[in-house]
Amino acid sequence: MKFLFELFPIALFFLGYKFGDIYLATLIAILASIIQVAYSRYSTGKFEKIPLITLATIAILGGATLLFRNELFIKWKPTALYWVLAIAFVLSHFIGEKPLIQRAIDQNIQLPNKIWHQLNVSWAIFFILMGFANLYVVYHFSTDIWVNFKLFGTMGLTFVFIVLQGVYMSKHQIIIESEKPYGTH
């Protein structure tokens, strides 16, 4: 459910573009991000980092798109967001006690420290590559293709990457003795 909630601004951007244009879609995405952050704050009592970072990038680059009537700014937004996330993953190796990926999911799974660090690096690399993929589509294809790539291409690539991460984690998962199924010792 949380994953669908995080797709809310992207889905509305897509619909705004299909029924209007890039400028309407940008305005809708900015408003949807504001609503998303406000709802998250209201329902949890705190601001979540990723929606705030997303709101900041869409407000700045989307605002520039609307102000200057130049769609290139909004097209750069995914790259900016991906690269900010990549930097966060890299910095988490040096700031704090755990890599960012471990902080996000270690309550659900236990892995050796080496594996957490490898996963964290792979997420940083993934976000760097996604940023470059977005720029490739921006500069080599039409806006129609970019909008479809932004919704379907990035979602598909992210899904495949998450599945591969899950397979990798399952090979290295530490089974806690008290969580073993009955009769397996």
Could you read off the pLDDT of 47-76 as tens digits, one per residue?
A: 988 889 989 999 999 999 999 999 999 999
First to last CA, the chain: 36
Q: Please state whether the predicted TM-score (pTM) of the whole model is above 0.95.
A: no
Which stretches in the chain have pLDDT values below 70?
A: 1-4, 175-185
Task: Name the H helices within the chain.
Answer: 2-6, 8-19, 22-44, 49-57, 63-68, 72-91, 100-105, 113-140, 143-148, 154-172
Domain boundaries, the chain: 1-70, 72-174
